[in-house]
Structure 1
Amino acid sequence: MDWQVRAIRGAVTVPENTETAMADAVTELLSALESINQLDLSHVISATFSVTRDLDAVFPAAIARQRPGWDDIPLLDVQHMYVEGSLPQCIRVLLYVQLPARTAKVQHVYLREAQDLRPDLSIRTLGLV
């Protein structure tokens, strides 16, 4: 079987800068990415999380690492570049995944107010929820 490395994007917003709110958002985002893309976590190469400058209650990677199957995946947290007027309180993720070449398409996931970042990729627009 032929394999290829694919990148899958996702983003979610949080209502407040608390560990609980961020944990809920990261959990929701990763669950959606895993489910919609039917991910086998043994094929996830790495994940980079970025957060807007107004979020510092917890590292998203620390939340991800607590999920089953995520403790062996290389994870990185960074602060997203600030641009005046950009979406606040947002957590983004970029997953690198090895997938069978026959996998036609990956589904990027934008949840909550982050759907405004890519309305064309909203799971509601695409009829996935």
Structure 2
Amino acid sequence: MIRGIRGATTVHENLENSIVKNTKILVEEMVHTNQVVPEDIASVLISVTPDINNGFPAKALRLIDGWTYVPVMCMKEIEVPNSLEKCIRVMMTVNTERKQNEIIHIYQNEARKLRPDLSQTNKNSN
């Protein structure tokens, strides 16, 4: 079965090391929590708000062992007035036997505000 795993985080500064570090932490928690291995990942889409432009968040995935062949694409999030700033969103499409309600979506930092209903399951995230 193909399922989507959502994740989001924020950075304090528009700096490459912050963008890469926070994306890596997010993605590692997404795969660990949902017991995903790179071979099960069909693709990863990463969007960033317009105020993030000093680095590619996809670079973080290349730092994870075994992720060489995982297709990744970055894009800009649409600009919506008063939306959450400095936000990185991830949509990971995976092959899994888990039911849709068994997928654990990960929201970290200020991004918990995006989906407080789903953030209940990962309150211990950074």
Give the structure-1-normalised TM-score. 0.90
- Is 1:90 the equivalent of 2:87? yes
Kindly indicate whether the alpha-carbon contact (under 8 Å) linking 2:106 and 2:122 is maintained by their aligned counterparts in 1: no
Letter of the aligned partner of 1:27 in structure 2? K
Partner residue of 2:20?
23
CA deviation map 1:91-117 (0-9, x unaligned)? 0000000012xx231111010000000
Aligned counterpart, 2:51: 54
**Counterpart residue number, 2:10:** 13
Kindly report the root-mean-square deviation, in angstroms, between the aligned alpha carbons of the 2 structures. 1.2
Once the two structures are superposed, residues 27-71 of structure 1 have per-residue CA deviations (whole angstroms, 9 ceiling, x without a partner) of 110111011111121100000000000001111112212211211
Which entry has the higher C-alpha Rg, 1 or 2?
A: 1
Rounded Cα–Cα distance in structure 1 between residues aligned with 2:96 and 2:24: 22
1:1-129 matches, within 5 Å, as 4-100=1-97, 103-104=98-99, 105-122=102-119, 125-126=120-121, 129=124
Name structure 2 gaps, 5 residues minimum: none
Give the TM-score normalised by the residue count of structure 2. 0.92
- SS of 1:95's partner is strand
Name the amino acid aligned to 2:30: L
Deviation at 1:127, TM superposition (A): 5.6
Q: Is the 8 A contact 2:21 2:60 kept in 1?
A: no
**CA distance 1:26–1:127, change in 2 (3 Å):** closer
Which has more helix, going by share of residues? 2
Runs of 4+ in structure 1 deviating by more than 4 angstroms, as ranges, are none
Identity of aligned residues (%): 35
Q: Secondary structure at the match of 1:76?
A: strand
